[in-house]
Amino acid sequence: MNSSGFYRKKDNELYVQDICVSKLAKKYGTPLFIYDCSQIRQRYETYLNTISEVNGKIHYAVKANDSLSILKYFAKLGSGADIVSIGELKKCILAGIEPKKIIFSGVGKYEYEIEEALKQNILQFNIESKEELYDIHKICLKLKLNANICLRVNPNIAPSTHKKISTGDKGTKFGIDYENVKSIYKKLHNLDYINPVGLAVHIGSQIFDFNYFHEAYQSLKNLADDLIKIGYKVPSLDLGGGIGVSYKRDKKIDFLSYKKIISNLFKDTNYELSFEPGRSLIAEAGILVTKVIRNKKTKAKNFVIIDAAMNNLIRPTLYDAYHQVEPAIENDRSFVLADIVGPICETGDYLALNRKIKKVNKDELLIIRATGAYSSVMSSNYNSRPDAKEVIIYNNKDYLIKYSQTIEDLILKDKLINFD
Ligand code: LLP
């Protein structure tokens, strides 16, 4: 078995483990997401090794891909979870991730979500404001249940990444202003049912310049050290996620540098460290397979029109994100410059713009790479389009892990009323 990702054999076909991708497309139809367990495991183990010197724990960021079977696989690997809604909590529990390994993040937890999470006795709430603290406290008093509270700090650091996924600077809705953290942390100690457990930081996603992490972790540590000096306990620090992956596949994640930063800062400390990676564990372990509906040529451009669209993968139009696109069968042929677009009726419906790709014909299969994270989870039914099926490859066998909706499923959600 070749388990080194999605790879080509001599027949020019793309394979995952020993399974031919175009056979899967034939069996399940397109558009189709395919995930590979062996790649998820490999990335999980590499991440865990990177943080092993400081005894770090992984809490997979469920928002990256919340398929139940994928969560179950993370549970099998031993991962905890970072969640942002009660829906994600329920999925984690169903998939076998124990509540005592679950961190509840997010700026807008509803009261009913807080109640449910308290009843499930989750590991901790990462809270983002004084107001949220008082809401949680009220619910704790009502239910007579304890909450472990960690304060998410806004360190006022703007990493270089897309502005829509940058969360560490003052202008964003995330975290508590750095200068207010100490006073709120002290307040935690005066409230019944509230256990202060530490501080958290997450400055954004798709970050390559690790100096930003260094700066953020250093300022978190300074705060924690100061609090300890004046007599408070700060048992744990949550360092978030955010490591970028190379969608152009021209560089590998520099885990060694990351390890150095973490080890230098934390090796000789007593903090329990948690990490919340999403993208770096799963983005590259997934592909989206799509079929060419037809080619179209205008005076200005070539278009390859495919059966996947922005409702399946919104990243290119939402974040100007790049995803590699290539034919499932890579034989010799000429190249063409084209926009690769879906059938949705707006100009923003594209998967790639001005892309040099091998000429493809009607009904041929294309592969869109690195769509394991923030892809199917962000899908919609825009233009009354059902979502895509999802398949996972485990021990050289394919398993359907998500049905696609039928048009009838979509229609069932609507209620027809009489206008008599
Ligand atoms: N922890 C927190 C509190 C987060 O908000 C996030 C991601 C993560 C961890 C995981 O970050 P990662 O390791 O995946 O970078 N939809 C966007 C990405 C949004 C990320 C949101 N927060 C995209 O497609 O690029």
Mean pLDDT (10-residue bins), the chain, 420 residues: 72 94 98 98 98 97 98 98 98 98 97 98 98 97 98 93 89 94 96 98 96 97 97 98 95 94 97 98 98 98 98 98 95 94 98 96 97 98 97 97 96 94
Pocket of ligand 1 (CB under 6 A): 61, 63-64, 82, 105, 165, 202, 205-206, 240-243, 276-280, 315, 319, 374
pLDDT at residue 9, rounded to an integer: 86
The label of the residue with tokens 């202008």 reads 171
* Mutation pick for ligand 1 pocket among 40, 62, 63 (CB with most ligand atoms within 8 Å): 63
Instruction: Please give the sequence-ordered ranges of beta strands (E in DSSP) within 307-410, or none if there are none.
Output: 325-327, 335-341, 350-358, 365-368, 389-394, 397-402
Q: Is-contact 370 283, C-beta < 8 A?
A: yes
Q: How far is the CA of 204 from the centre of ligand 1 (A)?
A: 7
The answer to whether residues 174 and 162 touch, using CB atoms and an 8 Å cutoff, is no
CA distance 142 to 319: 43
- Catalytic residue flag (residue 150): no
Q: Which of 49, 108, 31 is nearest to 385 (CA)?
A: 31
Q: What is the pLDDT of residue 160?
A: 85
Mutate to test the pocket of ligand 1, among 70, 276, 288, 375 (most ligand atoms within 8 A of CB): 276
Q: Of the residues 37, 92, 150, 345, which is catalytic? A: 345
198: tokens are 């530490």
Element (H, E) at 49: helix 37-50
Q: Which atom of ligand 1 is nearest to the CA of 106?
A: 3
Closest C-alpha among 165, 167, 109 to residue 139: 109
Whether a cis peptide bond, with omega within 30° of 0, leads into 386 is no
d(CA 266, CA 289): 43
Structural contact between residues 323 and 371, judged by C-beta atoms closer than 8 angstroms: yes
Question: CB–CB of 184/151 below 8 Å?
Answer: yes
pLDDT at 4: 64
- Residue 195 CB neighbour total at 10 angstroms: 16
- Return the pLDDT at 2: 44
Backbone angles phi, psi at 179, to 5 degrees: -70, -10
The atom of ligand 1 lying closest to the CA of 207 is: 15
Q: Which residues 6+ apart lie within 8 Å of 26 measured at CB?
A: none
The predicted structure's pLDDT at residue 3: 44
Q: Ligand 1, from 43, 59, 205, 258: best to mutate by most atoms within 8 Å of Cβ? A: 205
The pLDDT value recorded for residue 146 is 98
- What pLDDT, in 10s, does the model give residues 43-86? 999 999 999 999 999 999 999 999 999 999 999 999 999 999 99
Distance 179 CA to ligand 1 centre (A): 25
Q: Would the pTM of this model clear 0.85, i.e. be above it?
A: yes
What is the rounded CA–CA span in Å between residue 88 and residue 81?
9
Nearest atom within ligand 1 for CA of residue 373: 24
CA of 205 to the centre of ligand 1 (A): 5
Looking at residue 248, the DSSP 8-state letter turns out to be T
237 three-state secondary structure: strand
Residue type, 199: L
